[in-house]
Amino acid sequence: MDKTAMSKQDLQMRKKIKTSVSDRIIDIITYIVYSLFAFVCIYPFYYIIINSISANNLSERGKIIFWPQEIHFTNYENVIKIPGLWDAARTSILRTVIGTVLTVMIAAFLGYMFTRQTMWHRKLWYRMVTVTMYINAGLIPWFLTMKLLGMTNNFWGYIFPMIIQPFYIVLCKTYCESVPPALQDAAEIDGAGTLRVFWSIMLPVIKPILATIAVFAAVNQWNAFQDTLLLMTKKELYTLQYVLFQYINQASSLKALVSNNTSSSAMMASLAHAATATSIRMTVTVVVVFPIMCVYPFFQKFFTKGIMIGAVKG
Amino acid sequence: MKKILSLLLTAALLLGMCSFTVAVADEPMEIVFFDDAANYNGEQTGWFAKVVLDRFNIKLNIIATQVIGDEVFATRSADGDLGDIIIMDKTKFADIVKAGLVKDISDKIGDLTNLQPFMTQIDAFNQKFLGKEAGVYYGIPDQMTDTSAVGLTGEMIYSSPQVRWDLYKAVGMPEVKDIDGLLDLLVKIHEIHPTNENGDPAYPFSLWPDWDNGDNMSGPANVVQLTTWFGDKMKGSALLKADNTFVKLYDKDSGYYKITKFINKAYQLGLVDPESFEQDWNALPTKISTGRVDLLWYNWQQGFWNSQDRLDNGTAFQTIPVEGFNFYADADTFYGGDRAWGIGSKVEGEKYDKIIEFLNWYASPEGLTFEHCGIEGLNYTVGEDGKFIPYKDNALMDNLPVPEEYGGGGYQDGNNAINQWLLASICTNPNTGETYDMKYWASYIAKNMTEMKKEWQERFGANDPVDWMKKNNKVIISPNCIAEMETDSDDIAVLRNSIDQVLAQYTWQLFACENDDDFEAKWDAMVAEIDGLDYETLYNFDVAKWQVQVDAKIAAASAK
Amino acid sequence: MQRLSPKQKRSFLEFGYILPFLIIVLLFSYFPLYGWVYAFHDYKPPFPIGADTFVGFKWFETIVNNPTRLKGVIRVLRNTFAMSGISLLFSWFPMVFAVFLNEIKCKPFRKFTQTVTTLPNFISWVLVYAFAFTLFGTNGAVNSVLKDLGWIEKSIPFLQSSDHIWFKMWLWLTWKNAGWAAIMYLAAISGIDDQMIEAAKVDGATRMQIIWHITIPSLLPTYFVIVMLNLANFLSNGMEQYYVFQNAFNKDYIEVLDLYVYNLSTSGTGMYPLSTAISILKSVVSVALLFMTNTVSKLVRGEGFI
């Protein structure tokens, strides 16, 4: 068979013929289904946005469904005015960048290393790492361990506990296993050591999964607040999510305030007029998601195009 | 790509390094509060911070478990260091004293000059509650008063039925004799007030589940807060009757059954907001402030509706005395409220001295004035006779700006975040002869004698609800006293939690029974299940535990 | 001392590369396991544990020794199995979602849809419920519209009843997670050799055939690994989702194990040993399931995944 001799025109004609009725149907169904899904996903977010900029009392009554009414930006102003917000944001960015880079590198490295059948007791170590996904020691021993290791009131307490993620390692390993061995063999014949193969051959090839892990890890780092809650008391180490978490809970601790029956009723009344908890949650959600959505498209392009540039020539 | 990565990493690391260099100048000393009462977590800012900084050169860092959760208690106590000043529930406080987390302050108790008039109470707490010998001091009760342990100060008790005065007038100001009478009143009110002005549906009852099983009472808050109308008070899982005997909570002659039936009857009559079963407390403030709830039963709920305008034009909520009720109310917190103050065991030296100074100021007239009244010239002014006159009493509500000498900013923003006081607001201010609480200033009372209030007084023949209750002998004042009670062992805790969960679930389902037969059947099913979970053991434990308190109260009552 | 062959040298060297990370894992994940000892004591913060608080297997027995409570636990397990079972049954959803998403020809629409479907992942469950309440509550938008149209007389209690609660929970879960989980599969798809696809097209394959014979088989390794890892997590459904949706009327069906443990520990202290005991049991079951699944995988597919 002489495929290579076929002219470009012939190929294109064949392609056209293949765009048959069944193809069209698939297209139409796909567009409809995904449009519906997109709507179902974006409407709640739209709902959150319009509610956060509409008058709080209208929002609480559930009146804002399609359009914002009595637009105001006080909710956002209040969030921006939270003391320590910008310092916390900077800390968050720092931990996200450092944490993500390290998580991705480690996941890739360990994922690749665990494919090396020649490693001493490979299976044992691999199992040792994966099993940690399912065992939970409990809050108090975790905290005491952190204290022992000096992770309290220490920026590295945000990093070390989170950079070895078995799930990502498994993903990387699976991905590495689907890379044609010919690629690795070629490099090794050329005299490359394990590290070299990893850095120069594997890493470029598994970019899509790395981008995926980067997104997952970055979001985890960005959203984490429980570690701040338990490990940090110095406000220089507060992260954005923690500051916002406090802010949300202060608003909804109206409940706590009112159950304290010895508080003055003036206090009650004042809080009655303050921003309602749900509006605050919505505003905070938008504030937190906005930076993520800004950065996301940058990663998206890594897992939406093929990059297997024929490294193996026939 | 790799170059970019490494560049990014280095830049991030460098940035990280420099932001954590510490600048040490004349740093104010940081005092860490472990505060179960606070609603704000973090460093105190604003005018109160300035007041404290100017006097003591300290800054307050508040760890608020109500904001960030209870786990920090477990982790910090496992670590041995809760904080510098500890404010927590009395019973928990007793535990941490036993565990050695609280400092012995016997040596400096004399330095707390402003608390010397309250030594009776402080002694009672340390000896009776904490079980220490005379002369040994670990803790100080919160909110002590200088009134009496069997007295009741105030116009309203904590839980009583309240409806809108204008609606009450519109249905003819009927006499409400008992709980069925109350139901009739609500039916009439619902008829004339089915929606609020915006057309949103309004109901007498709007309920919420998230406070269930709290405040040491098993069962939905919407039930157990109301059993007090019959003089029955839930103590844990046991029910204390007005004659100081205990019965099981499912006793059909008692408050729990009666109130659950009351709410179910209301449901059958269409008086219960159907969203009650899906919403949580967050929905309520808005509903109350937009007039969608016709019956209130906490005294502070009025704050959501009773603005000055409404007080003036008679559309505010007022208590409706019910003849057949026998209200239960706690007396003034002479011996202190539910919490206690202590100093952390790791505190010593200069910090210890500073804290004692601070606490003494906190209990001084100057400190108390800041805590309960606010800033002179803003919240109040001083009249010629030296008494206080309310000035801008919306300073808190509207977050008014604070004078420059206090550092500016908003009043609410800078308000005291500790949210707990050594002495209650009904104590007398030696500088004015009146209490710290604005509600009892002569100037305030004069200002607030509204038309509506006069009508109420005429209708019911008393100055205010508490006055009516006292005159007609419809209130049981439970004396304030100190009694050390057992804390739950782990077994009891598990038992309590399982029973609480089942109790709450069944009771909510009971609210929504369609007819009385269903109700009785479900009631019996609930009793069977609770008994099956060994309610007997829990009940006996609670009776033994609370009996101690009951005995102390009987003693206090007969002593006076 | 025997001289190591180059092969052995390499073997140890490779181990050496991962050793630092193994140490971190030991320190941060295995060392804290000493805390499991709390499950064998009567621990009540702030009192430290010691010889006098030791109670052996008491907490484990508490779970089963009371018949009424045992009924409750069985009910909770039934709910957990149901929820996990449904999730497992439909675990292929994100994969298929990714596959057909990739088939969308219009690139801007494809990118837009992909981005937008990840948004629900960022909305906390608390907010999801607030939104659900406005939409599906008794006075919510859906009921109002249906009443206005005259299709129903009384509001449908979407949120209150326990009808189809497992399915409803699965719907919410999918809505929230599918788009996010699909990212993994999209990454795998983008790694498929274009030449293979071109060759197939030239051979006359339709789109469905390409999907069936090339795309999906390339995704299967990832899919199986994820499914098997999730199988080991059968007992963990998470707590938040079920917590926000629970009420007295659907509790019997919505309360999964994680929520049950949370509900029990609402008093804060005093429940720590019991929740630790349950946590130990869950861990043991999960690890057992993990290895069992691995064996099954070896028998069925010829290879394990760990």
Q: For residue range B107-148, what is the model confidence (pLDDT) as tens digits? A: 999 999 999 999 999 999 999 888 889 999 999 999 999 988
Whether the predicted pLDDT of C241 surpasses 80: yes
Q: Evaluate whether residue A29 is within a structural domain.
A: yes
Dig out the tokens for A128 from the structure: 């040792």
CB contact (8 A) between residue A119 and residue C33: no
Dig out the tokens for B271 from the structure: 């008086």
pLDDT value for B211:
82
Q: Evaluate whether residue B130 is within a structural domain.
A: yes
Shared-domain flag, residues A172 and A258: yes
Shared-domain flag, residues A67 and A102: no
Domains of chain C: 39-277 (1.10.3720.10)
Shared-domain flag, residues A165 and A254: yes
- CATH code of the domain in which A132 resides: 1.10.3720.10
Q: C116: pLDDT confidence band, cut at 50, 70 and 90?
A: very high
DSSP type of residue B236:
B
pLDDT value for B174:
92
Shared-domain flag, residues B309 and B356: no
Number of folded domains in chain B?
A: 2
Interface membership of A302 toward B (CB under 8 Å): no
Cβ-contact C62, B497 below 8 angstroms: no
CB contact (8 A) between residue C249 and residue B509: yes
Instruction: Report the pLDDT averaged over residues B70-92.
Output: 89
Q: For A140, which residue in chain C has the nearest alpha carbon?
A: C35
Shared-domain flag, residues A102 and A232: yes
Q: What is the pTM of this model?
A: 0.84
Residue-averaged pLDDT of chain C: 87
Distances (CA, A) of C54 to B143, C22, C30, C283: 39, 33, 23, 22
pLDDT value for C66:
83
Q: Evaluate whether residue B508 is within a structural domain.
A: yes
Q: What is the pLDDT of residues C3-19, one digit of tens each?
A: 778 888 888 888 988 99
Distance from CA of A145 to the nearest CA of C (A): 6
Higher pLDDT, residue A22 or C144: C144
Q: What is the pLDDT of residues B460-483, one digit of tens each?
A: 999 899 999 999 999 999 888 888
Q: For C131, which residue in chain B has the nearest alpha carbon?
A: B279
Cα B224 to Cα B239: distance, rounded to the nearest angstrom? 10
Interface membership of B57 toward C (CB under 8 Å): no
Whether the predicted pLDDT of B488 surpasses 70: yes
How large a percentage of chain A has pLDDT more than 90? 30
Interface membership of B333 toward A (CB under 8 Å): yes
Distance from CA of C241 to the nearest CA of B (A): 15
CB contact (8 A) between residue B278 and residue C159: yes
CB contact (8 A) between residue C48 and residue B74: no
Whether the predicted pLDDT of B164 surpasses 90: yes
Measured in Å, how far apart are chain A's first and last C-alpha atoms? Answer: 17
Q: Evaluate whether residue A96 is within a structural domain.
A: yes
CB contact (8 A) between residue A65 and residue C141: yes
Shared-domain flag, residues B163 and B308: yes
User: Strand pairing of B42-43 and B85-89?
Assistant: unpaired
pLDDT value for A313:
31
Dig out the tokens for B381 from the structure: 């002014």
CB contact (8 A) between residue C138 and residue B498: no
Q: For B208, which residue in chain A has the nearest alpha carbon?
A: A255
Q: Evaluate whether residue B285 is within a structural domain.
A: yes
- CATH code of the domain in which B48 resides: 3.40.190.10
The partner residue sitting opposite B278, judged by closest CB among C45, C137, C272, is C137
Q: What is the pLDDT of residues B172-217, one digit of tens each?
A: 999 999 999 999 999 999 999 999 888 888 999 999 988 888 778 8
Shared-domain flag, residues B328 and B184: yes
The partner residue sitting opposite C138, judged by closest CB among B70, B275, B489, is B275
C276-303 residues labelled b (16+ CB within 10 A) or e (exposed):
bbbbbebbeebbebbeebbeebeeeeee
Query: Tokens 């709450």 correspond to what residue?
Result: B504
Shared-domain flag, residues B546 and B524: yes
Shared-domain flag, residues A59 and A96: no
Q: What is the pLDDT of residues A240-281, one digit of tens each?
A: 999 888 888 776 655 555 444 434 444 444 444 445 677 888
Show which of A37, A72, A107 is a domain's final residue: A72
Number of folded domains in chain A?
A: 2
pLDDT value for A6:
56
Q: B61: pLDDT confidence band, cut at 50, 70 and 90?
A: very high
Shared-domain flag, residues B371 and B452: no
Interface membership of A58 toward B (CB under 8 Å): no
Instruction: Report the pLDDT averaged over residues A25-50.
Output: 90
pLDDT value for A199:
87
Shared-domain flag, residues A272 and A221: yes
Shared-domain flag, residues B242 and B317: yes
Higher pLDDT, residue B362 or C66: B362
Shared-domain flag, residues B71 and B102: yes
Shared-domain flag, residues B389 and B460: no
Distance from CA of B32 to the nearest CA of A (A): 10
Q: Evaluate whether residue B177 is within a structural domain.
A: yes
The partner residue sitting opposite A262, judged by closest CB among B67, B306, B337, is B337
Cβ-contact B304, A268 below 8 angstroms: yes
Q: Evaluate whether residue A161 is within a structural domain.
A: yes
Instruction: Report the pLDDT averaged over residues C183-208.
Output: 85
Distance from CA of C122 to the nearest CA of B (A): 21
pLDDT value for A93:
93
Q: Of chain B residues 268-287, which have a CB less than 8 A from chain A? A: 281-283, 285-286
CB contact (8 A) between residue A94 and residue B16: yes
- The CA radius of gyration of chain B, in Å to the nearest whole number, is 26
Shared-domain flag, residues A59 and A169: no
DSSP letters for chain C: -PPPPHHHHHHHHHHHHHHHHHHHHIIIIIGGGGGGGGGGB--BTTBPP-GGGB-TTHHHHHHHHSHHHHHHHHHHHHHHHHHHHHHHHTTTHHHHHHHHHHT---HHHHHHHHHHTTGGGGS-HHHHHHHHHHHHSTTSHHHHHHHHTTS-SS---TTT--TTHHHHHHHHHHHHHHHHHHHHHHHHHHTS-HHHHHHHHHTT--HHHHIIIIIHHHHHHHHHHHHHHHHHTTT---SHHHHHH--TTTHHHH--HHHHHHHHGGGSTT-HHHHHHHHHHHHHHHHHHHHHHHHHHHHHHS----
Shared-domain flag, residues A63 and A130: no
Shared-domain flag, residues B409 and B471: no
Whether the predicted pLDDT of A188 surpasses 50: yes
pLDDT value for C44:
78
Shared-domain flag, residues A183 and A57: no
Shared-domain flag, residues B190 and B283: yes
Q: Evaluate whether residue B106 is within a structural domain.
A: yes
Interface membership of A52 toward C (CB under 8 Å): no
Q: Of chain B residues 217-246, which have a CB less than 8 A from chain A? A: none
The partner residue sitting opposite C46, judged by closest CB among B95, B277, B509, is B95
Q: Evaluate whether residue B356 is within a structural domain.
A: yes
Q: Of chain B residues 375-404, which have a CB less than 8 A from chain A? A: 393, 396-398
Shared-domain flag, residues A109 and A21: no
Assembly ipTM: 0.87
Q: Evaluate whether residue A308 is within a structural domain.
A: no
Q: What is the pLDDT of residues B260-295, one digit of tens each?
A: 999 999 999 999 999 999 888 878 888 888 899 999
Distance from CA of C175 to the nearest CA of A (A): 7
Show which of A39, A72, A105 is a domain's final residue: A72
Query: Tokens 């601790």 correspond to what residue?
Result: A253
Using a CB-CB cut-off of 8 Å, the residues of chain B touching A246 are: 41-42, 67-68
Q: Evaluate whether residue B1 is within a structural domain.
A: no
Nearest to B396 by CA among B339, B438, B365, B452: B438
Q: Evaluate whether residue A219 is within a structural domain.
A: yes
Domain limits for position B137: 30-143+345-423
Instruction: Report the pLDDT averaged over residues A50-62.
Output: 80
pLDDT value for A18:
53
Q: What is the pLDDT of residues C15-52, one digit of tens each?
A: 988 999 999 999 999 999 998 988 898 887 778 888 88
Domain limits for position A57: 17-72
Shared-domain flag, residues B129 and B164: no
Rounded to 5°, angle at Cα C186 from A166 and A194 = 50
User: Strand pairing of B29-35 and B85-89?
Assistant: parallel
- Chains sharing 3 or more CB pairs under 8 A with chain B: A, C
Q: Evaluate whether residue A307 is within a structural domain.
A: no
Residue-averaged pLDDT of chain B: 88
Using a CB-CB cut-off of 8 Å, the residues of chain A touching B19 are: 90-91, 94, 236
Show which of B373, B389, B423 is a domain's final residue: B423
Pick the range with the lowest mean pLDDT from B41-45, B97-101, C171-175: B41-45
Cα C234 to Cα C78: distance, rounded to the nearest angstrom? 12
Distance from CA of C65 to the nearest CA of A (A): 24
- Chains sharing 3 or more CB pairs under 8 A with chain A: B, C
Residue-averaged pLDDT of chain A: 81
pLDDT value for A128:
93
Whether the predicted pLDDT of A4 surpasses 70: no
Interface membership of B213 toward C (CB under 8 Å): yes
Helix (H, G, I), strand (E, B) or coil at B521: helix
Contacts of C151 (CB under 8 A, 6+ apart): none
pLDDT value for B9:
64
Q: What is the pLDDT of residues B379-426, one digit of tens each?
A: 889 988 888 988 887 777 677 889 988 888 888 888 888 988 999 988
Interface membership of A42 toward B (CB under 8 Å): no
The partner residue sitting opposite B397, judged by closest CB among A253, A263, A273, is A273
Using a CB-CB cut-off of 8 Å, the residues of chain C touching A212 are: 183-184, 186-187
pLDDT value for B283:
81
Helix (H, G, I), strand (E, B) or coil at A121: coil
DSSP type of residue A150:
T
Q: Evaluate whether residue A242 is within a structural domain.
A: yes
Q: Evaluate whether residue B214 is within a structural domain.
A: yes
Distance from CA of A33 to the nearest CA of C (A): 10
Show which of A72, A96, A119 is a domain's final residue: A72
Nearest to B223 by CA among B264, B186, B251, B182: B264
Q: What is the pLDDT of residues B524-558, one digit of tens each?
A: 999 999 999 999 999 999 999 999 989 988 888 77
Q: Evaluate whether residue A104 is within a structural domain.
A: yes
pLDDT value for A264:
46
Q: Which of C118, C198, C209, C211 would you mutate first to test chain A, the one with the most A CBs within 10 A?
A: C118
